[in-house]
Amino acid sequence: MAAAYTSKEHLVIQTAVRGLYDRLPQLTDRLVEEMRRGQDPPPGDDRSFWKSTYLGLHAVLDAVASRGGRRPDLNFARRMGRGYAERRIPLDTALRAYRLAGSVLWDGMVDVIRSRHPDDLPVLVISARRTWQMIDELSVAVSESYRQTERRLRDADGEQGYRMLDLLLDGRGDAETARRAAAALDLPPHGRYAVVAVPAAGVRAGDGLLPEEAEGLRFVWRARGDARYGVVHLGSAGLDAVERALRPPPARDAGISLVVESLTGLARARRLAAIALRTCAGAGPRISRLDRHLPEALVAVQPELAGHLRDAVLGPVLALEPAERDVLLRTVRVWLDCAGSTTAAAERLYCHRNTVLNRLRRVEHLTGRRLADPRQAVELALAVEAVRLGSAGAAAQAAQEAPQR
């Protein structure tokens, strides 16, 4: 491992890194441009490659500024090594990426210190030994991961394992299929699994944007239709660990299934993950665990009944002018999210508590439902979710039907 900085070196490095965080988009543009000039094209489309490069530079900066401990940049390098090998891109291209990244970051650090604290340039130069040692360690991590992946890809059983896994996800496998998939992919046939669903647009396995290993979890990603599904071997971990693994940027929707007890349960888990993903519609990028969003899931899987419930309960509210309608619906939604606390809802809505109360009374008057009645409150909550999911679905349909320009 690289030698530690002295205290003075660490202060100078931190100053340089803080300056580079503000320039990270520009540094990413520069590195992407340098990579595009290479003989072998980098993996992924322009958008996903830019995101992956940005995340990689960010991880390296975090590591350079640290004084030891966790090295998330090494995990990122291993993922990138796997991604390059899976796409049959030469190892030299991956190593060239890290050499270029080191040059781009080092030039940027020199620029920051020269412009802000020129007297500290000699200290920065002395610290270069550790910075370049870290780049070397990243290159080693890329190489090792690349070669390990190469060996895996040469193994025909591995390819067969993915085919078996696809059959299990599609509900066309049996116990023998599970046994063969487990043997080929080094997974236990009987163990705790979950499935994660993410929209396919903008992400590809191996580009650093989808987790493959985290906190002892192992993700195996497969493309099915307009989504990517990650089969997660949980071991002794829980769904909280899966959620944490999906948290780093870039933000995107993700649905997490319930836990199943063997590979033969993957088809069920896939269906549940897809339902969980549907509950994200209209809520902004979020991670939806089915076990925490079961009411929304009920609405999502029964759109016709949900539409009837929406109209029966909220018809008078939906008939209002859009401005008033949206304010009332948002107030009810926030009040529900705040567990019925008008004080907390007022803080979230940036208004007085009495304003929240007046809006809720207005909804009660229009709908004929009392929020103090548990059964009627449930009806209102489900109807509000039906509005959200229905609006998101209509927007998606309109976008799909819009003429291409």
Quick one: the chain helix, strand, coil %, rounded to 5? 65, 10, 25
d(CA 290, CA 272): 7
Q: Which sign, positive or negative, has the C-alpha torsion 67, 69, 71, 72?
A: negative
- What is the structure's pLDDT at 129? 78
Please give the C-alpha separations between residue 41 and each of 83, 94, 151, 163, 209, in angstroms, as whole numbers.
13, 10, 23, 28, 18
286 plus 394 within the same structural domain? no
197 plus 311 within the same structural domain? no
Report pLDDT digits (tens) over 276-320.
Answer: 998 887 666 788 999 998 988 988 888 889 899 999 999 999 999
Domain boundary among 293, 316, 331: 293
Beta bridge partners of 217: 214
352 plus 389 within the same structural domain? yes
**Closest to 2 (Cα-Cα) out of 103, 149, 198, 136:** 136
Q: What is the mean pLDDT of the chain?
A: 84
402: left (phi over 0), alpha (psi -120 to 50) or beta: beta
User: Is the peptide bond prior to 199 cis by the omega test (within 30 degrees of 0)?
Assistant: no
Query: Are 119 and 75 in contact, with CB atoms under 8 Å apart?
Result: no
198 plus 105 within the same structural domain? no
The string of DSSP letters for 148-215 reads HHHHHHH-HHHHHHHHHHHHHHTT---HHHHHHHHHHHT--SEEEEEEEEEESTT--TTSSSS-SEET
278 plus 378 within the same structural domain? no
Residue 242: alpha-carbon gap to chain centroid? 10
Residue 265 lies in a domain: yes
Beta strands in 267-365 (DSSP E): 287-289
Q: What amino acid is encoded at 391 in this protein?
A: S
Residue 138 lies in a domain: yes
Residue 123 lies in a domain: yes
288 plus 212 within the same structural domain? yes
33 plus 129 within the same structural domain? yes
Query: Are 383 and 368 in contact, with CB atoms under 8 Å apart?
Result: no
Q: What amino acid is encoded at 234 in this protein?
A: L
Residue 166 lies in a domain: no
Residue 324 lies in a domain: yes
Beta bridge partners of 220: 231
Lowest mean pLDDT among 38-47, 251-260, 347-356: 38-47
Residue 186 lies in a domain: no
Band (347; pLDDT cuts 50, 70, 90): very high
Report pLDDT digits (tens) over 84-117.
Answer: 888 878 888 888 888 888 888 888 888 888 888 8
DSSP state of 285: S
Domain boundary among 241, 272, 293: 293
- What is the structure's pLDDT at 249? 57
pLDDT at 44 over 50: yes
- What is the structure's pLDDT at 401? 43
- Residue 202, C-beta contacts closer than 8 angstroms, at least 6 positions apart: 45, 47, 48, 51, 209, 252
Supply the range of the domain harboring residue 319: 302-398
Residue 182 lies in a domain: no
Residue 159 lies in a domain: no
Band (82; pLDDT cuts 50, 70, 90): confident
143 plus 38 within the same structural domain? yes
Cα within 13 Å of Cα(224), Cβ side: 24
Q: Tell me, what CATH number does 111's domain have?
A: 1.10.490
Structure token digits, residue 396: 């998606």
Report pLDDT digits (tens) over 189-239.
Answer: 899 999 999 988 766 655 667 888 888 899 999 988 888 999 999 999 999
Burial of 343 (0-12, 13-18, 19+ CB in 10 A): exposed
311 plus 267 within the same structural domain? no
**Closest to 381 (Cα-Cα) out of 280, 294, 302:** 294
Domain boundary among 293, 310, 326: 293
389 plus 359 within the same structural domain? yes
- What is the structure's pLDDT at 270? 96
Q: How many CB atoms lie within 10 A of CB 84?
A: 27
Q: Tell me, what CATH number does 383's domain have?
A: 1.10.10.2840
Q: For the residues 132-158, what does the mean pLDDT come to? A: 82
Band (58; pLDDT cuts 50, 70, 90): confident
d(CA 52, CA 50): 5
Beta strands in 284-375 (DSSP E): 287-289
pLDDT at 79 over 80: yes
pLDDT at 394 over 50: no
Q: What is the 3-state secondary structure (H, E, C) of 11-73?
A: HHHHHHHHHHHHCHHHHHHHHHHHHHCCCCCCCCCHHHHHHHHHHHHHHHHHHHHCCCCCCHH
251 plus 142 within the same structural domain? no
Band (67; pLDDT cuts 50, 70, 90): low
Q: Please tell me the total count of domains within the chain.
A: 3
d(CA 328, CA 331): 5
Beta bridge partners of 224: 227
H or E stretch covering 218:
strand 217-224
- Token pair 């020269």 is at which residue? 114
69 plus 146 within the same structural domain? yes
